[in-house]
Chain A
Amino acid sequence: MTAADIGLTAPTGDLPAKPRWILAGLLTGPALYILIMAIVPAFLMVQLSLAHREVGGLWSPGLELTQYRQLATPLFARIMGFSLLLALTGAAICVSLAFPAAYFITRMRRRAQVTWLVFLLGSLSLSEVLIVFAFQVLLSTSGTLAGALSAVGLLAPGASLYPNFPAVLTCLVYLLLPYVILFFYPALSQLDPEVEQAAATMGASRISTFVSVVLPMMRGQILTGVLLVVIFTFGAYLTPLVLGRPPQWTIAIHINNAAMGAGNLPLAAAYAVAVVTFMAALLLLTRLLSRRRGAEA
């Protein structure tokens, strides 16, 4: 998010000349905080990924590629591949549910809109711990869902609906839906109703207006929404841990296990650097794609 993205407008006109010392006074504290808590840890992580690992969970500064060599294994490729598969499946479901939902919500009356926003913000803020726990109850052997499914013969009696891939996916979709709906909300609420009205007067149906006018205008937004889901899924830890089996463990669990379990902080850091690099590449790709498509339109 840059200032340009946010579209700030400062007051114009005859303002008093800006004294530098006021700016320095305003920004020194925040700059120091951001430097210490964001820039330093980021550099530290890169340094850590190149460090020399010692016995007993210790490490000494170094410049070696030992950790990165461990990334060039089929195991790591498989974990990243699975994480990406999970993320993209989740993104497809989330975006195709969230986009129409956000579209409908932006066209509601104020009261209904505010109610939806409170509901979405409330469920978005809920702890992943809590959601995972609720899904555990919902999907457990003694739960209603399993009972109902086994009653109609879709599930063996006494079987549980987790841990498996669909459970992980459903929970991730649940966690992400409010985010993605709220992400689409500003752009869709900015959409000029007159554009749709114009299409309607030219004889286009509601649905064809939506597909031929609204969707193309929102290409960039949709791609960024997908990226949002991918970033979140790569960072999700509890959901795959509780609702999945080891084959469904995403990179987040392996990062955590390396750091906290095996005491191999350098390897965890190398994983993390790889993930961030991958995310940056995806970000670049979405920017490129939305620009090219935008130019065609």
Chain B
Amino acid sequence: MSLSPGVILRRGFLGLLALFLAAPLIVVLSVSFNATRRMSFPPTEFSLRWYGAFFGDHAWMASLERSLTIAGLAALVSVLVALPITYAIWRYQAKAAAVLAGIGGALFLIPGVVAALMLSAFWGVTGHVGRLENVVLSHAIVLLGIPLSLLMVGFRTIDQAQVEAAYTMGARDSDAFRMVVRPAMTPYILCAFVFVFVLSINEYLIAYMVAGFTVQTLPIKIFANMRQGYEPTMCVAAVIFMVMGFSAFALMSKVADLPRLMGRTRPLED
């Protein structure tokens, strides 16, 4: 294969882009394996001591556990809310459901700080402050746009002929659901869950403004550490985020057609 100037230019551009996107990750990764306490890059001596320190530290582990709990519950809530809405749109073309989906999508377009303020004011007025469930319900509503759009992509892939065939053969809604809808939707539900989970576990501002004083999630703890002075264990926390995020999406690419999930409808050959 000959390399034309155009190809070289394109590869160079994409290579530089990949390098730019990877640079901060490489920094964090290498600093986390650095033996010295000083925050320095490039690292001088390889060591796993900060990993030992992180996993042996009660406060860090508690933050990690709290973040995992919040992310899991938030993902569950937002998928459980999005599923009936998207099903009602697909199955009944329900106007009310379309309105709800519209609100969910619009929320995703509100600047982060405004959403955080809205929700923190809301919890303040209810008098229910500083609780874990506040973060769960707040994350679930702000991220609702994700399961809504992913599940809609999923419903769109369901073979209409198959559904019609099921009904012609006398299938009831529940049968059609079991035979056609559920198997087709399972990967999309899983992807929506993973996506919300990953974004929730990484979210800082809303968690901080809604319950940050009492519920210290991992990003809140990392940021508090950053402000108080550098401590290498926070790099380990950061690496955990990276590993979790990338493996989640790599997994997603195995269970679902990722290009289609991201909005490609034109067929893509292997």
Residues of A within 8 A of B (CB): 1-4, 6-16, 18, 22-23, 26-27, 29-31, 33-34, 37-42, 44-45, 48, 97, 100-101, 104, 106, 109-111, 113-114, 117-123, 125-138, 140, 142-144, 174, 177-178, 182, 185-187, 189-190, 192, 206, 231-232, 234-238, 242, 251-252, 255-256, 259-260, 265, 268-269, 272, 275-276, 279
Contact = CB atoms under 8 A, between A and B. Distances in A.
Nearest to A259: B117
A37 to B, nearest CB: 4
Contacts of A127: 202-204, 219, 222, 238, 241
Contacts, number: 317
A47 B149 CA distance: 31
Contacts of B114: 45, 235, 255, 272, 275-276
Contacts of B31: 137
Contacts of B125: 44
B184 interface: no
Contacts of B268: 110, 113, 189
Given A186-B263, A259-B117, A34 B209 contact: no
A260 B213 CA distance: 11
Contacts of B18: 119
Interface string B60-81: 0000000000000000010001
Contacts of B135: none
A186 B141 contact: no
Given A33-B81, A129-B223, 7 more contacts: A23-B96, A29-B81, A30-B81, A119-B246, A121-B252, A182-B262, A189-B266
Given A117-B253, A265-B121, A269-B121, A235 B112 contact: yes
A265 B93 CA distance: 41
B226 A189 contact: no
Nearest to B94: A23
Contacts of A134: 23-25, 27-28, 238
25 contacts: A1-B102, A1-B105, A10-B91, A13-B167, A15-B167, A18-B91, A23-B94, A23-B96, A26-B87, A26-B97, A30-B100, A41-B122, A44-B118, A119-B21, A123-B21, A129-B223, A131-B24, A134-B27, A143-B40, A178-B21, A185-B263, A186-B262, A190-B264, A252-B112, A269-B121
Contacts of B266: 189-190, 192
A182 B107 CA distance: 19
Nearest to A120: B21
Given A38-B141, A259-B117, A10 B39 contact: no
Contacts of A14: 164, 167-168
Interface in B92-131: 92-94, 96-98, 100-122, 124-125
Contacts of B192: none
A109 B264 CA distance: 13
B138 interface: yes
A106 B246 contact: no
